[in-house]
Amino acid sequence: MPMGHTATQQAGTGGLTATEHRLANGLRVVLSEDHQTPVAAVCLWYDVGSRHEVKGRTGLAHLFEHLMFQGSAQVKGNGHFELVQGAGGSLNGTTSFERTNYFETMPAHQVELALWLEADRMGSLLTALDEESMENQRDVVKNERRQRYDNVPYGTAFEKLTAMAYPDGHPYHHTPIGSMADLDAASLEDARAFFRTYYAPGNAVLSVVGDIDPERTLAWIEKYFGSIPAHDGKQPPRDGALPDVIGE
């Protein structure tokens, strides 16, 4: 397999080991086996969050997280949820200032399914991304904002705090949920450009832990992720430096 390097670390307690690998397309892979229970977890971590958003497009990273569950080349519509849950697993995704991650917890014998699904999204989401999905998930995210922030007591407290603590234009001035105005302004082309820029093998870390055979798991990862082309269009994140005095 065309791997870059492999390193092994021994944990301080518990006797667990983690091996790190890198595919030829830049994808970092971390594997750790633990056979105490017949369960395995897959987590795909992309190095993109709200701090990478540009002015006027706040909330785009979180909106795109939702779009990742709207189908891909081989899995249509809600199929990602249906396949994982039908196999006895669970799944979700989260977006923060610094990163976006997607994860599945599966019966150990179904971990290959989770890897195939994540690879299909990384490699082919653009073929399924359309206006219908964009409008549908825009409404979902706007309703999430209403329910979790705008219409609950103190729901916008953290949002107001970050706006006061960090000056306008700072990457932490806004929170991942974004503003209603920016969510309304986001276009399908914005989403496509976001995917092309940040959802690349070299901008991701894939971790698989639990009741796994590392050699077989690595072979599956190479099989499904290895053919995804490398590309590097990512811009450096905005400057996070702060002035000596803030809040004036």
How far is 68 from 64, CA to CA, in rounded Å? Answer: 6
Specify the DSSP class assigned to residue 124.
H
Dig out the tokens for 161 from the structure.
């705090």
- Look at phi and psi of residue 74 and say left if phi exceeds 0, alpha if psi is from -120 to 50, else beta: alpha
Tell me which residue has tokens 């922030």. Answer: 149
Half-sphere exposure of 64 (CA within 13 A, CB side): 35
User: Nearest 5°: phi and psi at 29?
Assistant: -130, 130
- Scanning the chain, the segments in alpha helix (DSSP H) are 60-67, 79-86, 111-124, 131-145, 157-165, 180-185, 188-198, 214-225
What letter represents residue 210's amino acid?
A: G
Residues in the chain: 248
Catalytic residue among 53, 65, 104, 112: 65
**Contact indicator for 62, 176 with CB cutoff of 8 Å:** yes
Is 65 one of the annotated active-site residues of the chain?
yes
DSSP annotation of 71 reads B
Residue 107 · residue 87 · CB < 8 Å: yes
Name the residues annotated as catalytic: 65
